[in-house]
Amino acid sequence: MRVTGMDPGLRQGDNRYSVVVLAKAGTPFDEGQPMARRHIEFIHAQDLPWQTEALPGPLAALDCKTLSHDSESGACSVILRFPPGWSRPTPEHLTAAQEFLVLDGEFEIGNQTYGLDAYGYLPAGHPRSRQASKPGAVILSFFDRRPDWMPGTATTGGTGAVPYLNLHEMPWTSEGVDPELLKGRVLVHKVLRHDKVVGSKTLMLNASAHAHPPNWKQRALHHPCVEEFFVISGDITGPQGIMTAGAYFWRPAGIAHGPFGSRTGYLAVCRFVEGHHVNIWHDDDLPYSYTRPYAPALPEDLRPLARGRTIAPY
C-alpha cells in the first residue's frame, strides 16, 4: 500500500496511523459490532422523511431529515428546514458544535446573515444573540454531540470558530489534492475548515465532467478516519452506484472505496472526522465505469427507503 495525502506531522510510522489501520483496514461493517454511527453508503436525502421531534429543544419543531446519527453521543448530520418568519429573539447557545451550509434561503445568527452557499462552524457555547430566518431556509447541519439549546451566554465554549464563509467568494484550488486523484481529471477544492490537532477537515469539492481514472481503472483506497459526503449537484459514480444531488454517505474508518469518477461533474461537501485524513492506496487496479447499478451498503432500517436515482431526465 502507498500512503498519500497525509496531514503534516503524521508519518507512516506514527502510532495513530498504525493502530487505526491495523485495527480497521478492510473490515466490513458488521451490525453486531459496537459502532456509534453506522455505515451508510449511500442514500439520497429525497428518500428520507421529513420529521419533527428529531432534535431536542427549539429544534424539535423544525422539519428535519436525519442523514446519520450517533446513538451514544447524539451527534448527527441533518437537513433542517426553517419556515419563513422563524425567530429566536433572545440570547442562546448550543451545547454542541454546529457546522453548516445553507442549501436554500437565508438564515441569521446575531448580526451575520448566511445566504445561499454560506458556511459556518460554531463551536459549543458560541454566542447567538438572536437567530432568525425571514424567507425560510434549508440548512445542511452537522452537530458533534446532542444539540441542547441553553438560554443566555455560555461561560465556556469551544475554540476554532469559522464564523462565516461565503463560498462564492473563495477561489478553487487543486493545491493539497492527492496527485493520484488528479490523474485524468480536473478536481479542485475549497478548504472550509481544518483542525490540524484532531484532524477534522471539511472541503467543498468540484470535479469536471468526464472525470474518470486513466484507462478506466484505479486502485481502491481507505482512510484511518470517517469520510462523510453530501452531493450538491452533478453525479459521482462508484462501486455503490450513481450519486446525484442529495446523495449522502457516512463511511467509517478503514473501509475500502473507489474507484470514483464523474460523467457530468459534481459539487459536493466532504468531511473527514474522527481522525486525520490520510489516503491509503491499495495495490491492485479495479475496473471503472460510469454506469453502475445501485448497490448501497445500508443499515437494515434504511434499506426499504433507498431507491437510488438516475441522472437522465429524458
* Contact flag: residue 70 with Fe ion (CB under 5 A): no
Q: Give 76 or 278: the residue with its C-beta nearer to Fe ion.
A: 278
Q: In the bound complex, what is the minimum distance in angstroms from residue 273's beta carbon to Fe ion? A: 13
Q: What is the largest CA-CA distance in the chain?
A: 59
Q: In the bound complex, what is the minimum distance in angstroms from residue 257's beta carbon to Fe ion? A: 6
Q: Give 98 or 206: the residue with its C-beta nearer to Fe ion.
A: 206
Burial 73-110 (b: 16+ CB within 10 A, else e): ebbbbbbbbbeeebebeebbbbbbbbbbbbbbbbbbbe
Distance CA 63, CA 66 (A): 10
Residues in the chain: 314
- The stretch near Fe ion (CB under 5 A) out of 181-189, 196-204, 209-217, 225-233 is 225-233
Contacts of residue 266, defined as CB under 8 A and 6 or more positions apart, other chains included, come to 205, 206, 207, 231, 232, 233, 234, 235, 236, 243
* Contact flag: residue 227 with Fe ion (CB under 5 A): yes
Binding pattern for the stretch 178-217 against Fe ion, x by CB under 5 A and - elsewhere: ----------------------------------------
* Contact flag: residue 228 with Fe ion (CB under 5 A): no
Backbone angles phi, psi at 57, to 5 degrees: 60, -145
Say how many residues touch Fe ion, by CB under 5 A: 1
Q: Give 154 or 270: the residue with its C-beta nearer to Fe ion.
A: 270
Q: In the bound complex, what is the minimum distance in angstroms from residue 124's beta carbon to Fe ion? A: 28
Q: In the bound complex, what is the minimum distance in angstroms from residue 253's beta carbon to Fe ion? A: 11
- The stretch near Fe ion (CB under 5 A) out of 41-49, 171-179, 183-191, 223-231 is 223-231
The three cell numbers locating residue 161: 470558530
> DSSP letter at 85?
T
Query: Quick one: CA dihedral 97, 192, 84, 66, positive or negative?
Result: negative
Q: Give 92 or 227: the residue with its C-beta nearer to Fe ion.
A: 227
Q: Give 108 or 227: the residue with its C-beta nearer to Fe ion.
A: 227
Q: In the bound complex, what is the minimum distance in angstroms from residue 27's beta carbon to Fe ion? A: 16
Q: Give 54 or 187: the residue with its C-beta nearer to Fe ion.
A: 187
Q: Give 227 or 274: the residue with its C-beta nearer to Fe ion.
A: 227
* Residue tagged 421531534 (cell numbers): 53
Determine how many CB atoms are found less than 10 A away from the CB of residue 300.
Answer: 8
- The stretch near Fe ion (CB under 5 A) out of 145-153, 209-217, 219-227, 260-268 is 219-227
Collapsing DSSP states into helix, strand and coil, what is residue 15?
Answer: helix
Task: Give the residues lining the site for Fe ion (CB under 5 A).
Answer: 227
